Chains A and B, each alone.
Chain A
Amino acid sequence: MVAAAVPPRRLNWQLATVVELIDETERTRSIVLEPSDWPGHRAGQHVDVRLTADDGYQAQRSYSIASAPEDGRLMLTVERIEDGEVSPYLAGELRAGDQLELRGPVGGYFVWSDRGSGPVLLIAGGSGIVPFRSMLRHRAATSSAVPVRVLYSARSLHEMIYRDELMRCAACSGADVRFTLTREWPDTWRGHRGRISPQLLAEISWPTGDRPLNFVCGPSGFVETAAGALVACGHPAARIKTERFGPTG
């Protein structure tokens, strides 16, 4: 039998139209886009966005895809970094009907599908929750039976992205979603308080014998702490997938 070679997909820059903008928190905004040519994506992938100034200067950033492959629309969530070159425009000035230059989807490492997956632990710091929204929605859309636990660390309730959706997700799809607040919390707060620690991760991580798959996404220091704590709990490095985002905005 002769198998036909599948030509690789070219990764071209394309224009996408902004169809909706959703303010998630004071500093984060979701951008719903309609690309001219979208091949579909995997949960956890990202896109590159490029802005070009009038004088031709270009700045490019990567943003995780917040929507699930099954959602039928492409959504990014962008955190505004005050002195950034790209995020203040995307999270502040962009309007519905505008066009954005993007390419993607890209990324083949920080992706999840339930084929052959053990239980999953998703650990997010700040806007590191974005690719996990895609994974959680994908899990729900495919009625996956893979057990999933989420630990989301945010500074305060006000800075928690997708809070209501995550609560609903915990109630409806059997995901075990836990929160920790690091700077301020209401008196009635029943979640965890303070930064993630080896003790907290030892408490919430799946038993190593279950061969869990661990994903960690957040600022560099957060990722190092979480991944180090998982290794200390006995999880093999090969079962810990990490994605760091930086302060360039």
Chain B
Amino acid sequence: MEALDGNSIAGSLYELFGREMTAAPGACAHCASRAQIAELRVYGRAPGTVVRCPRCWQVVMVLTDVRGTLRIDYDHFRLLDSGEQPPP
């Protein structure tokens, strides 16, 4: 299946973090390679949106929408931006 990239989740990330996130740099927790969020690969056809590292292809984020509430698990993408606040 063809992947999109992190540009496609800009709106959802803005909703979660309260600011523009696609240019934010981070590191894959699996292989340590660095990428901006826009460069991650995004698969939207799963139940939820699966975001993978473009180097090692491991899952680094999962976004789910449960009854109108958007949630994100980004434990495997370490944001390198200083002052980053995790979503509530």
Contacts and interface: CB of A to CB of B under 8 A. Distances in A.
B38 A106 contact: no
Contacts, number: 70
27 contacts: A10-B18, A47-B11, A62-B8, A104-B11, A107-B22, A108-B20, A109-B23, A109-B36, A109-B37, A109-B38, A109-B39, A110-B7, A220-B3, A220-B4, A221-B2, A242-B5, A244-B3, A244-B4, A244-B5, A244-B7, A244-B8, A245-B8, A246-B2, A246-B3, A246-B4, A248-B44, A248-B45
Interface centre among B7, B14, B37 (most CB of A within 10 A): B7
Given A8-B19, A11-B15, A242-B39, A106 B10 contact: yes
Interface string A205-249: 000000000000001110000000000000000000111111110
A83 to B, nearest CB: 13
A247 B8 CA distance: 13
A110 B22 contact: yes
A103 interface: yes
A103 B21 CA distance: 15
A104 B22 CA distance: 14
A44 to B, nearest CB: 9
Interface in B1-34: 2-8, 10-11, 14-15, 18-23
A101 interface: no
Interface residues on B, range: 20 to 34
Chain B interface secondary structure, helix, strand, loop or mixed? mixed
Given A8-B19, A247-B2, A46 B7 contact: yes
Contacts of B8: 62, 244-246
A106 B23 contact: no
A62 B11 contact: yes
A248 to B, nearest CB: 7
B81 to A, nearest CB: 12
A62 B3 contact: no
A48 interface: yes
Interface in A37-61: 46-48
A108 B5 contact: no
Contacts of B5: 242-244
Contacts of A220: 2-4
Contact of B7 (A10, A62, A221): A62
Given A48-B11, A106-B11, 20 more contacts: A8-B18, A47-B11, A106-B10, A108-B10, A108-B23, A109-B6, A109-B37, A109-B39, A110-B38, A220-B4, A242-B5, A243-B5, A244-B7, A245-B4, A245-B8, A246-B3, A246-B4, A246-B8, A246-B44, A248-B44
